[in-house]
Amino acid sequence: MFTATHRVQFHETDMAGIVHFSNFYRYMEEAEHAYLRSLGLSVSMTRPDGSVIGWPRVRAQCTFEAPAYFEDVIEIRLKLMRKGVKSLTFEVEFYRDERRLARGSLKTACCIVAHGQPLVSIPIPEDIDVKFVEEPAESA
Amino acid sequence: MFTATHRVQFHETDMAGIVHFSNFYRYMEEAEHAYLRSLGLSVSMTRPDGSVIGWPRVRAQCTFEAPAYFEDVIEIRLKLMRKGVKSLTFEVEFYRDERRLARGSLKTACCIVAHGQPLVSIPIPEDIDVKFVEEPAESA
Amino acid sequence: MFTATHRVQFHETDMAGIVHFSNFYRYMEEAEHAYLRSLGLSVSMTRPDGSVIGWPRVRAQCTFEAPAYFEDVIEIRLKLMRKGVKSLTFEVEFYRDERRLARGSLKTACCIVAHGQPLVSIPIPEDIDVKFVEEPAESA
Amino acid sequence: MFTATHRVQFHETDMAGIVHFSNFYRYMEEAEHAYLRSLGLSVSMTRPDGSVIGWPRVRAQCTFEAPAYFEDVIEIRLKLMRKGVKSLTFEVEFYRDERRLARGSLKTACCIVAHGQPLVSIPIPEDIDVKFVEEPAESA
């Protein structure tokens, strides 16, 4: 499991006084990117041949169990559940202290990304060596 | 089916040159609110007794099939799939012209919302008369 | 004067129950882009030689006079105040009905934009023919 | 001077490959709130009489000197320039390493905030003791 943290900002709340649900998908991605960073990787990598690899989202879902509030420090717990030939699937849980706020999942595909061109799905290159890690929290 | 439209704004794109995936959840909500508006309702309603009813999200998911780009006009097709005692479930499809870009679902719960108080789930009041509608597109 | 409109979405409000101030800068840009669209132009244009012209912001400021609320329809009134050799300066006012909510300005520079390259400021090409227009409102 | 840091997230970039300018206003606010937190204060405070004090923005401006990119760690340097009877004025500078990216200012007013009520400007209470501080960076 990889853990990132995020302090809720004012602009992330809505008129219901809680974090707008769409931000949980952003937190999910922040944790995924912090995880890649912890491996020395980036979600946007230029290959030796000049092509750029990106990880467009295939599917994301989230179930909301309790609200998050301004200034909460949210712990985002990320688990790599499956490494497919061309995709990664993560499970994500959101905690404030010992209270789970939400849980979800994220599937991303390995693609060649060129501006103005269709995305081309490719097998994950061997040197993109994602794995299960035990890491101290990084502030996302 | 209820249909809303949304023109993609520059600030909704990301460095991959496409609409950031988190915005699809916002478009989903924009269509839901436009639907409620078309019925003379609002997602945030003050009741005669002064209490405020809101619709916090229980679960939202989306599968992404093709990217959306700056200045695209996206059609958001919303179907009310289930009206439970205390919740509503919508199915959503996103189109640009005849191309489907994404599809997903959204479940919301009817709650009493008071600032600084826990959300209290309640049965949907009878006068909140959601139903299937055939409406001309409203710009979300 | 060019006029665009924007209906306030739920995710644009914050826990103070009003539109978060940062969104006014986004509305400003939405109106600028709608203005360019009305002239058959786009904020991101590929030139015959393959280079891409963009308009990075040089300066933006806004003074807030009254809050905007969920579902408000905001009128964004844009005036091109100055066309310099390499830049455009707009004045912007935000209204709800006859009430002015905010006023500000935006200065943008004409640049060659290439990914991963420094921005290069250039004289505005002659065929980018911005001017004062009187246009019916377009929903931004 | 108070210093906060912010790591640029993917969803904060736009199709020009750089941080969308509207986010600098959010970073400005993140630093202001981190500064208040460092003093044991919050931007949203409930008073002994039950009223809530907030700090709506009066004016914000920013001049952009160089782009910020995905994964940059931005240093936000905040100076309290003026403590008026009812308002605070901050100057803000944004740095990546020794390169200044932008500079701006933010004026906020002390107000009683009640949902659905007009904001009421009040003198800053004596126990809200803002001052110049020298603090180690907090991740915003």
Confidence class of residue A111 from pLDDT cuts 50, 70 and 90? very high
For the segment A19-47, the average pLDDT, to the nearest whole number, is 93
Q: Of the spans B104-118, C12-26, C106-120, which averages the highest pLDDT? A: C12-26
Q: Give the pLDDT score at C131.
A: 76
Cα distances from B94 to residues A39, B17, B34, in angstroms, run 35, 18, 15
- Could you say which of D11, D22, D115 has the minimum Cβ distance to residue B14? D11
Q: Is the pLDDT of residue D139 over 60?
A: no
Does A139 contact D at CB distance below 8 Å? Answer: yes
Tell if the CB–CB gap between D15 and B13 is shorter than 8 Å: yes
Contact B100, B5 (CB under 8 A): no
Tell if the CB–CB gap between C139 and B7 is shorter than 8 Å: yes
Q: Provide the shortest C-alpha distance from residue B34 to chain A (in Å).
A: 17
Per the listing, tokens 């639907």 go with B35
Does D67 contact C at CB distance below 8 Å? Answer: yes
CA-CA distance, B57 to B89, in Å (whole number)? Answer: 10
Tell if the CB–CB gap between B10 and D13 is shorter than 8 Å: no
Does A50 contact C at CB distance below 8 Å? Answer: no
Contact A1, A134 (CB under 8 A): yes
Q: Give the pLDDT score at A9.
A: 98
Q: Is the pLDDT of residue B10 over 80?
A: yes
Q: Note the helical H segments in chain C.
A: 22-38
Q: Give the pLDDT score at A49.
A: 84
CA-CA distance, A93 to D125, in Å (whole number)? Answer: 41
Does D45 contact A at CB distance below 8 Å? Answer: no
CA-CA distance, C100 to B15, in Å (whole number)? Answer: 35
Q: Give the pLDDT score at D131.
A: 76
Q: Is the pLDDT of residue A96 over 50?
A: yes
pTM over 0.95: no
Mean pLDDT over each residue of chain C, to the nearest integer: 90
CA-CA distance, C119 to A68, in Å (whole number)? Answer: 39
Of the candidates A37, A105, A33, A102, the residue with the CA atom closest to the CA atom of residue A74: A102
Contact A106, A60 (CB under 8 A): yes
- Could you say which of C16, C22, C60 has the minimum Cβ distance to residue D56? C16
Cα distances from B108 to residues A1, A26, B21, B55, in angstroms, run 30, 20, 20, 6
Q: Write down the domain spans for chain C.
A: 2-129
CA-CA distance, A110 to A55, in Å (whole number)? Answer: 5
Instruction: Return phi, psi of residue D43, to 5°.
Output: -70, -15
For the segment C7-17, the average pLDDT, to the nearest whole number, is 95
Confidence class of residue A131 from pLDDT cuts 50, 70 and 90? confident
CA-CA distance, D95 to D111, in Å (whole number)? Answer: 31
Does B99 contact A at CB distance below 8 Å? Answer: no
Q: Which residues contact B80 (CB under 8 A, 6 or more apart)?
A: B35, B88, B89, B90, B130, B131, B132
* Of the candidate ranges A33-37, B61-65, B77-81, B130-134, the one whose mean pLDDT is the lowest: B130-134
For the segment A48-66, the average pLDDT, to the nearest whole number, is 93
User: Which of the following CATH numbers is that of domain C2-129: 3.40.47.10, 3.40.190.290, 3.30.310.50, 3.10.129.10?
Assistant: 3.10.129.10
Q: Provide the shortest C-alpha distance from residue D15 to chain B (in Å).
A: 4
Please name the residue of chain A whose CA is at the shortest distance from the CA of residue B55: A16
Q: Of the spans B81-95, C41-55, D111-125, which averages the highest pLDDT? A: B81-95
Mean pLDDT over each residue of chain B, to the nearest integer: 90
Residue B125 burial class via C-beta count within 10 angstroms: exposed 0-12, middle 13-18, buried 19 and up: exposed
